[in-house]
Amino acid sequence: MSLTDLLEELEAAKDPKKAGSMEAYMRHQFSFLGVAAPERNKLYKKYFPEAKKTKIIDWDFVDTCWEKESREFQYVAANYLKAMQSYLTENDLPKLERLVVTKSWWDTVDILDRVVGSLVYDKPELEKIILQWSLSDNIWLRRVAIDHQLLRKEKTNVQLLEKILLHNLNQTEFFINKAIGWALRDYSKTNPAWVACFIEKNKERMAELSIKEASKYLPHH
């Protein structure tokens, strides 16, 4: 039972009727086989536990998935990396960067941000690279930088979060402003006072969307 078998099973499960609505949902950026999330998740549960036993990331498999036309293959690769994230090394960050900037849209990027986050948490020396991403010309690298600490709670590196957010104020880009709102909203569950203070200090330079998202769980909003 190999990862290649997973791809064959995925291909065999295609459903052109579903593909149309999936393509429309992603604004026709990509073509789809028509294999919805529940079916994909079953395949992950079937194949990924075996893959984890190897304790080695098969980057050829990831690259194969990324090169294939149908979007579900990229979902498989991103979720495979999520399953294997404890086996990442610092040498894998450039590979993750390449995935973020290739066939980019929020669907893959918002899986990869947590994979990157896991690696950076284990290897804090990579934080300086994430700071560079937060100033990138590529909006998806910025989005990953902003959101890579999601769900860290009290383990959040607040200085790093603040620097990255400050690098991304005064933006008109929806995907960046939404990410700022998410990062702040998530951290507000751990430290609402810090988030309220950040908004108060920086609201002139923040998009309304960011403030609205960030304030969701704050009192008096």
Chain segment 127-180, per-residue pLDDT in tens: 999 999 999 999 999 999 999 999 999 999 999 999 999 999 999 999 999 999
pLDDT of residue 1: 80
220 pLDDT exceeds 90?
Answer: no
Q: Give the separation between CA 100 and CA 95, rounded to whole angstroms.
A: 9
Domains delineated in the chain: 1-87 (1.25.10.90), 125-221 (1.25.40.290)
pLDDT of residue 193: 97
The pair of structure tokens assigned to 68 is 């294939």
209 pLDDT exceeds 80?
Answer: yes
207 pLDDT exceeds 90?
Answer: yes
* 25 Cβ neighbours under 8 A, 6+ residues apart: none
pTM, entire model: 0.96
90 pLDDT exceeds 80?
Answer: yes
